[in-house]
A and B are shown apart, each in its own frame.
Chain A
């Protein structure tokens, strides 16, 4: 058996993986619930004040944004104490980061400096960010997370891919929990590469096995129920096990997937990039946050997140469903 699907976990013998925490560092969006309604446009994360502080000193912009999002996701998941120290299973907690432009500014700045002043003009403190995995390294160091540490730089589907790989690490028994981060910084290099104004965006979600989350009393927001990356959206949906009978309440994606089937025609659709600007590697993880908001609200139907399509090397989809352990809205632990 060989398949383009990297996972179809809608079979009962696979350990179910749920979202137990969400954190944003996103200008104009205060909470992930805001992603579903009209955006306030003001409030939310302020990079001018939010990216300073002793522990952020000498770090690249993407790493600083990511650390702020992770801080609030771990707090939301109940995995940090009053001193912001990680209280989970540090040896078995993975970090999975999705980014495409994370260190592009550092790379281009170094090239400019070398051209101007040779290597003696460079700061030795810039060494970590010459490597694209710098963000995941800093997140692990900040919270002492010694599980697998993975940086997915996979184009427009990166965020959804990162969610799937984090789930794979848990299902394979390599990790008992995973912090998944989607992050892109705003800067001139990113703007020029994207061909449109870049935006600061960081989002983090915490994934855990459903049974482990339940036993520690964590509140599951959503289940990662299916995933695939394939040549087009129709193939991805089929490989992820999403059929036309799927009960969908929300589709997070752009209109290029509209031809993918009748199931999408009747569904409410939110295109996060149309509202927030280009999200690149942050997109899929932010879609997961929006899905969690939808499922938590008690609104009907599952959530389909899609990215990529005809203009890209592939399309990817993640199906998010209500966890069987989810409490009814209004019923708090």
Chain B
């Protein structure tokens, strides 16, 4: 069984549509900016990958994550040729922070924020009349978890069309605590490079329309072959090679593919030494003996870590890479870590090639992993 992706939309620091973001990734210009969201005097980290839509003159406003979400859902359903009445369409939202940034502004600055705005169903109801809505706070694998749950709904006959989306705005509590625990302060997110020091947050939202095969009757961007989801049950914040390996192999099993069938891997690539070494080591074992192995890239080098939406953003970029036959490079990757030796990481400039099947990795706090396999629509 496969599922059609018939609509896509995204917003991040480097673009307001999937095409803009993909073009920026291929152009490979440095995209980090000095920290604006919060008072820089309070932090060690000086850079982030923010969406620059806050009011002139500094300060922050609540509900930015919600606003981006509504925008990308509207654009994705339009891209799929659907109307904006989602009263009969489930909407599954994956997020790390929900509207916790708004809670922070409410608590500290007295911003007007209601409990019912913490989850996204309230805004989705107002904008689209949607009622079968779910907010899954599944850390940085949230949107691929949501994608897997959407395929389950379609397979079980609960729906023919499901919108899967993700959104996250940077929070002070998250950015600050991460800053506190990273030994060396990163001045950029440099996945798999020997100079990598850690993760820096980005912001963004992403949405796709997933439909039962053949339901849409229009253009199909790509097909979902299978999505795995599991938990390491090992450590609260550090990744575990066994859990990640199980997630990758289960995704292959669900998709009916083997390692040698994979043409492209969109890496989780959060730029923390721990993640990069673990993910690279696992993939080396997976692709050992699988011929030349797939091309690999990591979008967080330019988008920062967009948290809950990052997995689905990687997936949307994989769809465009397959359409274009082009894999964007990993910005700033000059000297890969030893664990990544032999992996087909794209460096310097985009790599051209025919791509039919992509693997997308997403790993989150709590040791939760999700891996999606997507096939080009020809």
Chain A interface residues toward B at CB < 8 A: 1-7, 14, 90-91, 95, 100, 103-104, 106-108, 110-112, 114-115, 118-120, 122-124, 126-128, 130-134, 136-138, 140-141, 143-155, 158, 161, 165, 168-169, 171-172, 174, 189, 192-195, 228-231, 235, 312-314
Smallest CB–CB gap between B121 and chain A, Å? 4
B224-266 vs A: 1/0 string, CB under 8 Å? 0000011111111100000100100000000000000000000
Smallest CB–CB gap between B253 and chain A, Å? 12
Bound form: Cα–Cα A153–B38 in Å = 26
Is B285 an interface residue when CB atoms closer than 8 A count as contact? no
Is B41 an interface residue when CB atoms closer than 8 A count as contact? yes
Q: Which segment, of B168-176, B328-336, B346-354, faces chain A?
A: B168-176
Smallest CB–CB gap between A240 and chain B, Å? 12
Are A229 and B132 in contact (CB-based, < 8 A)? Answer: yes
Are B121 and A132 in contact (CB-based, < 8 A)? Answer: no
Residues of B within 8 A of A195 (CB): 115
Are A314 and B125 in contact (CB-based, < 8 A)? Answer: yes
Q: Could you write out 15 A-B pairs with CB less than 8 Å apart?
A: A107-B173, A108-B108, A114-B172, A124-B177, A128-B236, A128-B237, A132-B137, A133-B364, A150-B145, A154-B119, A155-B116, A168-B152, A168-B153, A229-B131, A230-B131
Is B286 an interface residue when CB atoms closer than 8 A count as contact? no
Which of A127, A149, A154 gathers the greatest number of chain B CB atoms within 10 Å?
A149
Is B159 an interface residue when CB atoms closer than 8 A count as contact? yes
Are A131 and B364 in contact (CB-based, < 8 A)? Answer: yes
Q: Which 5 A-B pairs have the closest CB atoms?
A: A137-B366, A132-B137, A110-B173, A149-B231, A128-B236
Number of A-B residue pairs, CB cutoff 8 Å, is 244
Residues of B within 8 A of A141 (CB): 233-236, 367
Chain B interface residues toward A at CB < 8 A: 38, 41-44, 87-90, 96-98, 100, 103-104, 107-108, 115-116, 118-119, 121-122, 124-125, 129, 131-139, 145, 148-149, 152-153, 155-161, 171-174, 176-181, 229-237, 243, 246, 364-368
Residues of A within 8 A of B153 (CB): 6, 168
Which of A123, A148, A231 gathers the greatest number of chain B CB atoms within 10 Å?
A148
Residues of B within 8 A of A131 (CB): 96-97, 137, 139, 174, 364-366
Are A137 and B367 in contact (CB-based, < 8 A)? Answer: yes
B121, B129, B176, B235: the one within 8 Å of A119 (CB)? B176
Bound form: Cα–Cα A134–B100 in Å = 14
Are B368 and A100 in contact (CB-based, < 8 A)? Answer: no
Are B107 and A132 in contact (CB-based, < 8 A)? Answer: no
Bound form: Cα–Cα A25–B155 in Å = 36
Are A231 and B100 in contact (CB-based, < 8 A)? Answer: no
Residues of A within 8 A of B157 (CB): 1
Which of A118, A126, A131, A192 gathers the greatest number of chain B CB atoms within 10 Å?
A131
Which of B125, B137, B156, B179 gathers the greatest number of chain A CB atoms within 10 Å?
B137
Residues of B within 8 A of A145 (CB): 231, 233
**Closest B residue by C-beta to A116:** B42
Are B177 and A122 in contact (CB-based, < 8 A)? Answer: yes
Are B137 and A314 in contact (CB-based, < 8 A)? Answer: no
State whether A6 and B366 are in contact (beta carbons under 8 Å apart), knowing that A124-B181, A148-B231, A149-B231 are contacts in the complex: no
10 further A-B contacts with Cβ under 8 Å, apart from A119-B179, A133-B368, are: A110-B177, A115-B108, A122-B177, A127-B237, A128-B236, A137-B236, A141-B234, A151-B136, A174-B152, A229-B131
**Closest B residue by C-beta to A157:** B121
A108, A111, A194, A229: the one within 8 Å of B115 (CB)? A194
Bound form: Cα–Cα A103–B107 in Å = 14
State whether A152 and B108 are in contact (beta carbons under 8 Å apart), knowing that A3-B159, A137-B368 are contacts in the complex: no
Residues of A within 8 A of B149 (CB): 150, 165, 168
Residues of A within 8 A of B368 (CB): 133, 136-137, 149
Residues of A within 8 A of B124 (CB): 313
Are A146 and B246 in contact (CB-based, < 8 A)? Answer: yes
Are B180 and A120 in contact (CB-based, < 8 A)? Answer: yes
Residues of A within 8 A of B100 (CB): 103-104, 107, 132
Are B103 and A115 in contact (CB-based, < 8 A)? Answer: no
Are A152 and B122 in contact (CB-based, < 8 A)? Answer: no
Bound form: Cα–Cα A192–B367 in Å = 32
Residues of A within 8 A of B237 (CB): 127-128
State whether A130 and B177 are in contact (beta carbons under 8 Å apart), knowing that A149-B230, A150-B145, A152-B136 are contacts in the complex: yes
Smallest CB–CB gap between B62 and chain A, Å? 13
Are A6 and B231 in contact (CB-based, < 8 A)? Answer: no
**Closest B residue by C-beta to A97:** B137
**Closest B residue by C-beta to A195:** B115
Which of B100, B129, B157, B178 gathers the greatest number of chain A CB atoms within 10 Å?
B100
State whether A128 and B135 are in contact (beta carbons under 8 Å apart), knowing that A6-B153, A146-B230 are contacts in the complex: no
Smallest CB–CB gap between A159 and chain B, Å? 13
Bound form: Cα–Cα A178–B133 in Å = 22
Smallest CB–CB gap between A78 and chain B, Å? 21
Are A148 and B230 in contact (CB-based, < 8 A)? Answer: yes
Which of B174, B229, B235, B364 gathers the greatest number of chain A CB atoms within 10 Å?
B229
**Closest B residue by C-beta to A104:** B103
**Closest A residue by C-beta to B119:** A155
Are B134 and A151 in contact (CB-based, < 8 A)? Answer: no
Are B365 and A172 in contact (CB-based, < 8 A)? Answer: no
B116, B181, B235, B243: the one within 8 Å of A146 (CB)? B243
State whether A6 and B158 are in contact (beta carbons under 8 Å apart), knowing that A155-B119, A313-B133 are contacts in the complex: yes
Smallest CB–CB gap between A74 and chain B, Å? 14
Residues of B within 8 A of A144 (CB): 233
Are B173 and A314 in contact (CB-based, < 8 A)? Answer: no
State whether A111 and B107 are in contact (beta carbons under 8 Å apart), knowing that A146-B230, A314-B125 are contacts in the complex: yes
Bound form: Cα–Cα A104–B107 in Å = 10
Which of A114, A235, A312 gathers the greatest number of chain B CB atoms within 10 Å?
A114
Bound form: Cα–Cα A168–B154 in Å = 11
**Closest B residue by C-beta to A123:** B180
Are B119 and A100 in contact (CB-based, < 8 A)? Answer: yes
Are A3 and B88 in contact (CB-based, < 8 A)? Answer: yes
**Closest B residue by C-beta to A86:** B233
Residues of B within 8 A of A133 (CB): 96, 137-139, 364-366, 368
Smallest CB–CB gap between B174 and chain A, Å? 4
Are B138 and A150 in contact (CB-based, < 8 A)? Answer: yes
A100, A114, A312: the one within 8 Å of B42 (CB)? A114
Are A2 and B88 in contact (CB-based, < 8 A)? Answer: yes
Bound form: Cα–Cα A3–B162 in Å = 11
